[in-house]
Amino acid sequence: MAHRSARSGARWVSLACILVLPTVILPAKAADSGSGPPLQPVVASLPTPGQPRPAEPEPAPLSLRVLTVERGDTLTQLLAGAGIETAQAEPALDALTSLFPARSLQPGQALTLRLDTEDGDALLGLDLEAAPGRVIHVSRTATGWTAKEKQAEQYRHLVLAQGKVRGALVTSLEAAGLPASLAARLVRLLAHEVDFQRDLQPTDRFTVLFERFRDADGTLLRDGDIVHAELLLSDRHLSLWRYETEAGVDWYDDEGRSLRRAFLRTPLDGARLSSGFGMRQHPILGFTRMHHGVDFAAPTGTPVYAAADGIVEQIGTRGGYGRTVMLRHNGRTETLYAHLSAYARGLKRGSRVRQGQVIGRVGTSGRSTGPHLHYEIRQAGKPVNPSTATPKAMVKLQGRDLVAFLNARNALQTQLAHLAPMEEVAWAE
């Protein structure tokens, strides 16, 4: 992953100047793959007012007409409006819609018609940019109409988004420039690591490195994924890296420990920590006693997840705990989930569960004042505080994978130190 542009410190800012090309590249020009007859050099007859032209090739008997899609337009209407006969338009559109569903047409899209000037402007072909960088070429051939698509060469860039947590994390991430879909993805990922209600403070900072894919001209084709996320909390530093091995894509901490295999901090979604670990006045019994777990307030029926891969050690009603599931994990660690309203169907003592698998539903069974999950982690039989205890992740990258991961991480960290917020750098995989 370490490569030339990183070491030379080449920035997107400077690349932009180099990449401005002297000619207008039309979609049709790129359509040179496949087995069909070669396409006409359409650049030749396109007038580009106010721009000096390079040496002109021999003009082809071809003219181009660009139609811009407006709200409510259909492909059939567009071609009819351009004076294309139905007998030509129909087979051309049939070919087009084999690769591009007609309902996907969006206002602002451009449909380019290739017309034969020596044959009464008969339709030779259509070009439509279906998505950024993905152009569909429809052409008339000796044997009928064919459609081909061409994806522009994509270049990977990395962008830095940085900021402070002000209000909700997701809006803070978006305000820092992270695309909304990536911000939502990151919040989901972090939800199992961070208790947003308790852990996040207005002074907390985040750093996110994410991908953008551009074509050779620098035009944005699409956003990619998050590569790295860092949260500087008042009492904790969280650093995550997305990394791909032969086993697939996963998230790792700085040392290459898989996040997926670490214990979920919050074994349910959208819950509020309502009571912490330690001495407290018991809400029902009145006297002070030790609270051996944490309570998450959530509506009855909210799914409860296994905090890590494990085996069901106990399942059933257990005094004040009510309906309870206890899981055994890596020999020394157990997790306990109490006051459930229901167990997952088919779950029984000895069942294997995967991290994130639903094991039951929030309820208020046993000695409980309202719907909540009482969650405990026990190590070597002793309850530990789930909010601060970080049972060791079970899977760490090994051998060559670990070396490659650390190299990639180091290269990115070095680059990060030189990036300004929303600055972009070209970065190959």
Return the SS3 of 408: helix
Per-residue HEC secondary structure of 32-60 comes to CCCCCCCCCCHHHHCCCCCCCCCCCCCCC
Residue nearer to Zn ion on the CB measure, 193 or 295: 295
Q: Which two tokens stand for residue 169?
A: 């994390």
Residue 368 beta carbon to Zn ion: minimum distance, rounded to whole angstroms: 8
- By CB under 5 A, what part of segment 356-395 binds Zn ion? 374
Q: What is the smallest separation between the CB atom of 374 and Zn ion, expressed in angstroms?
A: 3
For Zn ion, the closer CB: 188 or 282: 282
Report the residue number, 198 or 392, with the smaller CB distance to Zn ion: 198
Residue whose C-beta lies closest to Zn ion: 374
Q: Least Å distance between CB 262 and Zn ion? A: 22
Q: Please tell me the count of residues contacting Zn ion according to CB under 5 A.
A: 2
Minimum CB–partner distance for residue 367 and Zn ion (Å)? 10
Work out the number of other CB atoms within 10 angstroms of the CB of residue 383: 17
Region binding Zn ion by CB under 5 A among candidate stretches 65-73, 227-235, 236-244, 293-301: 293-301
DSSP string, 206-236: EEEEEEEEE-TT--EEEEEEEEEEEEE-SS-
**With respect to Zn ion, which residue has the nearer C-beta, 290 or 311?**
290
334, 299 Cβ separation under 8 angstroms: no
Segment lying near Zn ion (by CB under 5 A), choices 3-11, 186-194, 289-297, 317-325: 289-297
Instruction: Locate the DSSP E strands across 70-179.
Output: 110-116, 122-131, 134-141, 144-151, 155-164
Quick one: 251 or 277, whose CB is closer to Zn ion? Answer: 277
Nearest alpha carbon to residue 314 among 357, 359, 277, 356 = 359
Q: Which residues contact 335 (CB under 8 A, 6 or more apart)?
A: 263, 267, 306, 307, 308, 310, 326, 327, 329, 375, 376, 377, 378
Sheet containing 424-426: order of strands: 248-252, 237-245, 220-232, 205-214, 155-164, 424-426
Segment (H or E) for 252: strand 248-252
Q: Rank residues 132 and 383 by Cβ distance to Zn ion and give the closer one.
A: 383
Q: Which is nearer to Zn ion, 222 or 367 (CB)?
A: 367
Nearer to Zn ion by Cβ, of 215 and 295: the residue is 295
**Least separation in angstroms between CB 373 and Zn ion:** 8
Task: Identify the three-state secondary structure at position 381.
Answer: coil
CA distance 177 to 424: 12
Give 310's strand partners.
353
In the three-class reduction of DSSP (H, G, I as helix; E, B as strand; rest coil), residue 106 is classed as coil
Closest CB to Zn ion among residues 289, 418: 289
Minimum separation from the CB atom of position 299 to Zn ion (A): 17
State in angstroms the smallest separation of the CB of 339 from Zn ion.
Answer: 8
Smallest gap, in angstroms, from Cβ of residue 304 to Zn ion?
A: 13
Q: Give how far Cα 419 sits from Cα of 16, 159, 225, 416, Å.
A: 16, 8, 18, 5
Asked if 295 is part of the footprint of Zn ion (rule: CB under 5 A), the reply reads yes
Give the binding range for Zn ion (CB under 5 A) out of 64-72, 290-298, 307-315, 389-397: 290-298
Shortest approach of Zn ion to residue 291 CB, angstroms? 6
Q: For residues 235 and 124, what is the distance between their CA atoms, to the nearest angstrom? A: 66
CB of 292 to Zn ion, least distance (A): 8
Greatest Cα pair distance, the chain, in angstroms, is 97
Q: With respect to Zn ion, which residue has the nearer C-beta, 36 or 383?
A: 383
Interface with Zn ion (CB under 5 A)? 295, 374
